[in-house]
């Protein structure tokens, strides 16, 4: 699927959202228009907090990072979010957490959820934000997290493999960092089989996603005004995407772990595997991270987010909510017009745009209801 064709499936629409003690928003009970809304408010008054509350129903964590306790409003002990939606995996969703514990309580359609994985992407959404530049400016970990979050939301098998891989990696790390013993190498080897089996799944699915969407990525960057050819490819710690089946890649990873075990013991860390992967982004054949301008990095990051939206559409057969966190800030007029032209093709989508000033609302969004926010208080303007 590409943006030239309508996204398959139904449109996800948030109908209501009740917030209690979420960042600087003490209490709000909001009924959302089917088409979405524009929220205007000065910086620091809670615009992005509102978007984060919506996206929490997808990611189950703050999209700006940090633990749940940092989301709880100052001088309060808990936060709670209650959603009602159409076209999502559930009609109602409740999420709450306490500052003093790591426990998170989730209820879908009236039934408590025992595993967070079962609620992941319950109400899918994608955020477009100037912060996305960190996707290309940041270390490989940023791009791995982007890919892991996207593939985990679209494939239960990927999510299971990711959880198994992270558990095995953590256990092997405990062994490697422990004081040296005569059995340390043998104890580390116990975790190499699980790492290899789960890691091969991650390698294959990351490779397949990158291969599937590489052409679209190049085209989107060109449509947003990039004159040099932009490319992306999956890069492992051992080079570009490894060829082979899950079985052969598992054998390869198992052999690599065994061959590097002595050095891993010496360094106290596992040096090969999917946790060292990257999504290699090039612009005119050169590293985007090292050589692209700030504007080029922004448009390349936006291309990744648009592809994430399309990936969710194709895999979930649902059009996710589009959350726009002042996405056109500091972009030149030509880039903005090109991006808006691409967004126009995303038909029948609920959109929530936040901007600091009313005169920064693009013409494409003027038909949406306009709300304001000040000191965490939302005025729906009806």
Domain with residue 289: its CATH number is: 1.20.1050.90
Give the CA-trace dihedral at 221, 131, 8, 364, to 10 degrees: -80
Mean pLDDT value across residues 205-224? 96
Q: Residue 241: which H helix or E strand, with range?
A: none
Please, what is the average pLDDT of the chain? Answer: 92
Whether residue 133 lies inside any domain: the answer is no
- Whether residues 150 and 19 share a domain: the answer is no
Whether residue 137 lies inside any domain: the answer is no
Q: Residue 372: which H helix or E strand, with range?
A: strand 369-374
Backbone φ/ψ region at 225: left (φ over 0), alpha (ψ -120 to 50), beta: left
- Whether residues 293 and 361 share a domain: the answer is no
Q: Is the pLDDT of residue 7 over 90?
A: no
Half-sphere exposure of 122 (CA within 13 A, CB side): 26
Residues in Cβ contact with 327 at an 8 Å cutoff, skipping those fewer than 6 apart = 128, 129, 130, 302, 339
Q: Are 321 and 83 in contact (CB under 8 A)?
A: no
- Whether residues 236 and 256 share a domain: the answer is yes
Strand partners, 127: 323
Residues in Cβ contact with 151 at an 8 Å cutoff, skipping those fewer than 6 apart = 158, 159, 162, 205, 206, 209
User: Which among 281, 298, 319 is the end of a domain?
Assistant: 319
List, as one string, the DSSP characters of 110-140.
TEE-SSGGGGTTSS-EEEE-GGGGHHHHS-H
Q: Which residue has the tokens 């290699």?
A: 280
**Minimum mean pLDDT among 99-108, 132-141, 147-156: which range?**
99-108
pLDDT at residue 200, as a whole number: 96
Mean pLDDT value across residues 267-290? 95
Count the domains in the chain.
2
User: Which among 278, 294, 319 is the end of a domain?
Assistant: 319
Backbone φ/ψ region at 348: left (φ over 0), alpha (ψ -120 to 50), beta: left
- Whether residues 304 and 169 share a domain: the answer is yes
- Whether residues 25 and 47 share a domain: the answer is yes
Whether residue 44 lies inside any domain: the answer is yes
pLDDT at residue 331, as a whole number: 84
Residues in Cβ contact with 44 at an 8 Å cutoff, skipping those fewer than 6 apart = none
Q: Are 273 and 199 in contact (CB under 8 A)?
A: yes
- Whether residues 190 and 241 share a domain: the answer is yes
- How far apart are the C-alpha atoms of 156 and 118, rounded to whole Å? 9
Q: Is the pLDDT of residue 211 over 60?
A: yes
Residue 184 CA to its chain's centroid (Å)? 37
Entry pTM: 0.92
Q: Residue 371: which H helix or E strand, with range?
A: strand 369-374
Q: Is the pLDDT of residue 283 over 90?
A: yes
Range of the domain at 179: 142-319
Tokens representing residue 205 in the block: 């699915």
Residues in Cβ contact with 183 at an 8 Å cutoff, skipping those fewer than 6 apart = none
Quick one: pLDDT band at residue 328, thresholds 50, 70, 90? confident
Quick one: pLDDT band at residue 8, thresholds 50, 70, 90? low
User: Which among 319, 345, 361 is the end of a domain?
Assistant: 319
**Of 176, 171, 180, nearest to 268 (Cα)?**
176
- Whether residues 170 and 70 share a domain: the answer is no
- How far apart are the C-alpha atoms of 168 and 1, rounded to whole Å? 35
- Whether residues 84 and 193 share a domain: the answer is no
Report the CATH number that the domain containing residue 100 is assigned in CATH. Answer: 3.40.50.300
Per-state percent for the chain, helix, strand, coil, to nearest 5: 45, 25, 30
Q: Could you give the 3-state DSSP secondary structure of residue 223?
A: helix
């Amino acid at each position: 699927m590409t943006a030239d064709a309508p996204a398959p499936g139904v449109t996800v629409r948030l109908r209501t959202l009740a917030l209690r003690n979420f960042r600087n928003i003490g209490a709000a009970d909001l009924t959302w228009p089917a088409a979405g809304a524009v929220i205007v408010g000065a910086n620091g008054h809670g615009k992005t907090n509102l978007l984060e509350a919506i996206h929490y129903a997808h990611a189950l964590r703050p999209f700006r990072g940090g633990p749940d306790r940092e989301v709880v409003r100052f001088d309060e002990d808990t936060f709670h979010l209650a959603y009602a939606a159409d076209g999502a995996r559930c009609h109602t969703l409740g999420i709450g957490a306490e500052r003093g514990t790591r426990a998170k309580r989730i209820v879908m359609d009236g039934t408590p959820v025992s595993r967070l994985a079962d609620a992941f992407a319950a109400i899918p959404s994608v955020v477009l934000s100037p912060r996305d530049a960190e996707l290309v400016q940041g270390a490989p970990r940023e791009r791995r997290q982007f890919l892991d979050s996207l593939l985990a939301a679209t494939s239960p098998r990927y999510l299971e493999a990711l959880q198994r891989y992270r558990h095995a990696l953590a256990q092997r790390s405990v062994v490697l960092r422990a004081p040296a013993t005569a059995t340390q190498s043998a104890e580390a080897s116990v975790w190499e089989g699980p790492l290899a089996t789960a890691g091969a799944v991650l390698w294959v699915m990351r490779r397949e996603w990158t291969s599937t969407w590489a052409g679209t990525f190049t085209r989107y960057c060109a449509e947003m005004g990039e004159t040099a050819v932009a490319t992306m490819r999956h890069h492992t710690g051992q080079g570009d995407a490894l060829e082979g089946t899950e079985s052969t890649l598992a054998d390869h990873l198992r052999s690599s772990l065994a061959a590097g075990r002595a050095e891993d013991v010496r360094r106290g860390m596992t040096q090969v595997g999917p946790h060292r992967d990257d999504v290699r982004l090039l612009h005119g054949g050169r590293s985007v991270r090292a050589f692209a301008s700030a504007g080029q990095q922004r448009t390349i990051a936006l291309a990744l987010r648009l592809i994430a939206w399309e990936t969710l559409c194709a895999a979930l057969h649902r059009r996710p909510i589009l959350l726009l966190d002042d996405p056109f800030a500091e972009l030149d007029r030509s880039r903005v017009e090109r991006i808006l032209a691409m967004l126009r093709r995303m038909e029948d989508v609920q959109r929530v745009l936040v901007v600091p000033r009313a005169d920064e609302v693009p013409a494409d969004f003027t038909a949406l209801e306009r709300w304001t926010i000040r000191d965490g208080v939302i005025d729906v303007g009806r």
